[in-house]
Amino acid sequence: MTLSRFRDHSTPAGLLLACLLALPACNRPPARPVTIAAAADLQFAMEDVLREFRRSHPAAAIRADYGSSGNFYSQIRNQAPFDLFLSADVQYPRRLLSEGLAVPDSLFAYATGRIVIWAPDASPIDIARLGWAALDDPAVRHIAIANPEHAPYGRAAVAAMKSAGIYDRVAPKFVLGENIAQTFQFVQSGAADIGIVALSLALAPSVHGKYWEVPPASSPAIQQAGVILSRAKDSRTARDLRDFLVSPPGRAILKRYGFSPPEN
């Protein structure tokens, strides 16, 4: 058998030889990417964060999944293979710590979220002028909010409407989104006429609409926090990403999307 025969990787013998020559690479399973369970309000901001993070960590394999913080909490308790949890509140990460499902002392606050009343540009409702009264407008038949059972932004919306004294009047109009991103999509698609959503989604470059920011004092602060999970396969990259998120460059990206620094 000639040497050229061994170089022909299209034959079984050639494939075997190629694998033997590449050992131990052939026996090494592909690396699992670092997986982030990220609150849905981070959908646009996080893509910018990861793009910038990869400049200094070009070999890092990272995947972000977006959803409601409460649902992620339940999935993590059921052994979902996430490395880093970025919640839209601080309670779910604290629970994971108390249950031994997060790395001790890894809890960190990364931002304070804000809520807005939002509608597409084509909406006839003058949200900026009306403020809360926009929800009472006769043209509004459906109001989208995130499900307060498991979405921190939904709980903030409910608290703010109760503080403003309009909750009981407008509650019959509610359409509940599974998370704040789905809530936003309800309004974008026309399934709802108006919605109470995250400012970070309203400020995304690809989004065209108008909004009125709900006064922060009308509801408890949306303190967003994260934690490194005990099941993390690559805790080093998870820590590096955490450190970048709370660094000045990371905070600058979050600020562009309307996040305030975490409150002390």
All residues at 6 or more sequence positions from 111 whose CB lies less than 8 Å from its CB, including other chains: 224, 254, 259, 260, 261, 262
The single-letter code of the amino acid at 231 is R
Do the domains at 34-112+222-256 and 113-218 have one common CATH topology?
A: yes
- Please check whether residue 64 is in contact with residue 46, taking contact to mean a CB–CB distance below 8 angstroms: yes
Q: Which helix (H) or strand (E) holds 255?
A: helix 248-256
Positions of the chain with pLDDT under 50: 1-12, 15-30
Q: Is 97 exposed, middle or buried (0-12, 13-18, 19+ CB in 10 A)?
A: middle
All residues at 6 or more sequence positions from 1 whose CB lies less than 8 Å from its CB, including other chains: none
All residues at 6 or more sequence positions from 143 whose CB lies less than 8 Å from its CB, including other chains: 135, 170, 173, 174, 175, 192, 193, 194, 195, 196
SS3 115: strand
CATH entry 3.40.190.10 includes domain 34-112+222-256: yes
SS3 177: strand
Q: Which helix (H) or strand (E) holds 251?
A: helix 248-256
Predicted TM-score (pTM) of this structure: 0.85
SS3 64: strand
Sign of torsion, CA 112 215 204 173?
A: positive
Q: Provide the 10 A C-beta neighbour count for residue 191.
A: 14
CATH superfamily of this structure's domain 113-218? Periplasmic binding protein-like II (3.40.190.10)
pLDDT at 33: 85
Cα separation of 49 and 252, whole Å? 10
Domain boundaries, the chain: 34-112+222-256, 113-218
